[in-house]
Structure 1
């Protein structure tokens, strides 16, 4: 899922689950790709707002197909998807955030991907993995999201910092230097508690070799590596290097602009926000790959896939439209419209994607990014980790105790 909005998981009733199971896969061969037809598509957030323009271009080259795009807000996306799937009325093509796909694939609501048309090797590994569930692929990578380090270069000079931190140890050392020498309020912004805190924690967890679920889906959140990562993460709060709490709707770019938070870990859309809202910062900030720990520089992978409803009567046309959106040319075009990072490797070989120094940093980070395996209750699983992190950063639990509790809870949630 992208930029996102904090989205709560909605628990399905037994009746909904039964309805979904009953309706899955009943679409049959459906309408041929060349027949006159209307293709329904749901896309979320900014993507939903922009996709209509691309659909019009596609329609000109495919006059037999009318694309009906419905923008859906991320704040209501899950509820709408659940209701539509339960009624057997999912659109032909639907954008799936990473935390959703396992849930809907498990219900039988999604059509497996045609892997003779869409090939795994054409996409970044973490992007492809987000579309997989239970040994099958249900989503074609549309765009990929990751996190890098943003830092104030002007304040770094004042603090005596010559270059971006290369290691996690350097990161904390630099955070302290910003505070003590450049007199910033904090050294680094990381989320201390609340919904989706886990997204801020992932780079620290992955870079030391930890995980929430291993590659087989087994919970491992209380491993020694994970405990080490959480102890280190919480040390920023305990040392006063970051905020212990932040108000709802907090915008880190404001504190980045004032210098109160001279470093933060953020996604690609942050660059546009800074450039647009704080033009006076031009030349005073930069991005860098995340600092490395024992397993290197490893960031989180997010983004979205495109999936076809199992009940769609327009699967051939849906497949063709998804191919148009996810081939290298379509991905490069989508980047120019949205700044979403292409999930297709070949899209990075031309134009600005191939030559811009900052984009090379994003590509480098995507290459080493990791994602959590898809699970039907993934949002609930990550919420248990949010709670564990908050308990430690707020001083009510040790990292070991908090993660032991999360491990026990997550064991009851995995399939």
Structure 2
């Protein structure tokens, strides 16, 4: 009996050792990667990344993904601090506007050798430009938006085709509905103020920089676009004070019956929390009103790159390729109310059979990529100050643009002039 007991005990101990050894081996084979995700704490974003990680884990159990969710207003500095400390996240989700800065500081790994023509053919050419810097690919697009006009269909039978028509229709609405403005625009100290001005700028044929990074803001088109923006408030009086609102607050004014039109991305409709054909504030989308150069929209994207110092390159590349596959991109866009990122994805019936959403897809060929200054944060400050100083009447549009041009040069923000 004693011998039998000893043998049983020995077998049991050996089994425990084997199980422990296998667990150790399994643990050693799992690679953990970190993904810094600005805005990841928000409900829609959280729904997106959690479901993507769950699907990824089913096909790649050998890779564990940890998300570092950071509010957008803290994300830029958090990324810089982590990189400077040598503790960067393996994957960096970011506004593509930060790519030039991060590329110059050596924070991002060029991805050209890992993602070729087949992968890049998934995207609109203009979108690829937002993640390319000095001829190198530094990230893959993850979120993409165009702009369109959102308007009240119970008040506006035919949406305005030009900015002049916006003024005419707005004044008619205001005469018939006291207390309501025809249009809403954002001009607060916020990144969306740049999008609001740039969208008008592009319809006037203006640009901030050309494709070589040379300054183009010092142009009659830029002055005329800023004058149009300012006139909406100071001369035509068809908008509430722009400085009191950013673009993300315009849906609130729209749903409260204070404005009848605003320019936004497709999330502007989602933010209303009502379908387009609702009984209270029915709405639809239309192309951005045309300026002298026709309709246009700013192309804005978020993207994901890989930290140049990662020690988990293979795992990071595997995950990045997975979350940017067409099926994953489409699911993310549908959840987030975003524009599909390429012509093939845009043909999906989930997008094309939705009249409200289709307008934003149709705007894609009219898109102009977001400017790529040497540093985004001080660039944003210069442009916001330009818009606000002119809106307040402190300076003329001509003077505001001239001052902005001088500041961009003095602060070394012009890519082609950066030493």
Q: Is the 8 A contact 2:233 2:242 kept in 1?
A: no
The answer as to whether partners of 1:257 and 1:278 remain within 8 angstroms in 2 is no
Distance 1:150 1:104, change over 3 A: same
Paired residues, number: 376
Contact 1:142 1:342 in 2 (8 A): no
Tell me, yes or no, if structure 1 residue 229 matches structure 2 residue 225: yes
Deviation at 1:404, TM superposition (A): 0.6
The one of 213, 218, 234 equivalent to 1:217 is 213
**Alignment equivalent of 2:56, drawn from 51, 55, 58:** 58
Of stretches 228-237 and 168-177 in structure 1, the one that deviates more from structure 2 is 168-177
**Equivalent runs, 1:263-274 vs 2, <5 Å:** 263-274=261-272
Q: 2:240 aligns with which of 240, 243, 248?
A: 243
Distance 2:187 2:391 in 1: 6
- 1:395 lines up with 2:390 in the alignment: no
Contact preservation (8 Å) 1:141, 1:306: yes
Are the counterparts in 1 of residues 276 and 356 from structure 2 also a CA contact under 8 Å? Answer: no
Counterpart for residue 167 of structure 2: 172
Deviates more, 1:115-124 or 1:402-411: 115-124
Q: 2:187·2:245 contact (CA, 8 Å) conserved in 1?
A: no
Is 1:257 matched with 2:255? yes
Shift of 1:365: 1.5
Residues in 2 aligned to 1:134 and 1:281: alpha-carbon distance in whole angstroms: 51
Alpha-carbon contact 2:251-2:269 (below 8 Å) kept: no
Assess if the C-alpha contact under 8 Å between 2:185 and 2:250 holds in 1: no
| Residues 151, 286 of structure 1: 8 Å contact kept | yes
Q: Deviations over 1:192-250 (max 9, x none)?
A: 45333222111110011111222211122120110111111111111211123554678
Compared CA separation, residues 348 and 383, structure 1 to 2 (3 A): same
2:151 maps to 1:151? yes
Indicate the SS of the match to 1:155: coil
Q: Which residue matches 2:130?
A: 130
**Which segment drifts farther, 129-138 or 48-57?**
48-57
CA distance in 2, matches of 1:365, 1:384: 28
- The 2-side partners of 1:240 and 1:134 are apart by 43
| 2:367 counterpart SS class | coil
Give the TM-score normalised by structure 2.
0.84
Displacement, 1:112? 0.6
| Structure-2 separation of matches of 1:165 and 1:341 | 23
Contact 1:144 1:343 in 2 (8 A): yes
Give ranges in structure 2 of 5+ residues lacking alignment: 1-28
Distance change in 2, residues 1:291/1:106 (3 Å):
same
| Match of residue 36, structure 1, among 30, 35, 40 | 30
Deviations, residues 255-278 of structure 1 (Å, cap 9, x unaligned): 212322111111222211213599
Contact 2:277 2:283 survives alignment (8 Å) = no
Match of 1:365 in 2: 363
- Using the TM superposition, give the Cα deviation of residue 53 of structure 1 relative to its aligned residue in structure 2, in angstroms: 2.0
Segment drifting more, 250-259 vs 319-328? 250-259
Larger of the two Rg values belongs to structure = 2
TM-score (norm 1): 0.85
Query: Aligned match of 1:103 in 84, 98, 101?
Result: 101
Shift of 1:281: 4.8
Q: 1:290 to 1:277 in 2, by over 3 A?
A: closer
Following TM superposition, by how much is the alpha carbon of 1:116 offset from its aligned partner in structure 2, in angstroms? 5.7
Q: Is the 8 A contact 1:213 1:372 kept in 2?
A: no
Q: Is the 8 A contact 2:287 2:295 kept in 1?
A: yes
The CA RMSD over aligned residues, in Å, is: 2.2
275-284 or 302-311: bigger deviation: 275-284
| Match of residue 5 from structure 1 | none
Matching residue within 317, 320, 340 for 2:318: 320
Match of 2:335 among 334, 337, 340: 337
Within-5 A mapping of 1:176-187? 176-187=171-182
